Amino acid sequence: MILVDSNYMISLMNDSDKNHGRAKELFSMVKRRQKVMPVLMLSEAVTSVGSRKRGKVAKLLYDTLIDNFEIYYPTSVEIDLAMQCVLKYDGTLALADCLAVLIMEKMGISEIVSFDDDFDKVDGIIRLC
């Protein structure tokens, strides 16, 4: 299982994105794997794609994610724990990223598909982009 970051999906959906080519290269590998995405990253991806490509493309992305990914809905306790991660990294990891780290630890996931090199700060995470 891998965790998929919103920026991977944004790059994949936007052919003018600087990481679009790499996102396409990784697509066949990502497609084969079981995927999890936190609901905060789902929101980021759909919002960003909607602002760039409009509502119909955002809806297509949303449907694709809902149908092919395990969407993780955190508890309020998990969000509080993720906030502790934000403090640990002194704000250099966003709350959504810290929630992803927490989910990865909880689910025993070591790999993330992300163009965000902030994840390189976290021991035990292998970033695939």
Exposure on the CB side of residue 116, measured as CA atoms within 13 A: 26
Asked if residue 6 belongs to a domain, the reply is yes
Asked if residue 25 belongs to a domain, the reply is yes
Per-residue pLDDT of the chain (129 residues; tens, 9 = 90+): 999 999 999 999 999 999 999 999 999 999 999 999 999 999 999 999 999 999 999 999 999 999 999 999 999 999 999 999 999 999 999 999 999 999 999 999 999 999 999 999 999 999 998
Asked if residue 81 belongs to a domain, the reply is no
Q: What is the value of pTM for the model shown?
A: 0.92
Angstrom distance (rounded) from CA 129 to CA 116: 9
Can you give the residue range of the structural domain that contains 8? 2-73+109-121
For the chain, how many structural domains are there in total? 1
Give CA angle at 46 (44, 52), nearest 5°: 100
Strand partners, 112: 3, 127
Q: What are the distances in angstroms from CA 68 to CA 8, 36, 64?
A: 15, 9, 6
Asked if residue 13 belongs to a domain, the reply is yes
Asked if residue 65 belongs to a domain, the reply is yes
Asked if residue 99 belongs to a domain, the reply is no
Exposure on the CB side of residue 90, measured as CA atoms within 13 A: 1
Q: Are 128 and 109 in contact (CB under 8 A)?
A: no
Asked if residue 127 belongs to a domain, the reply is no
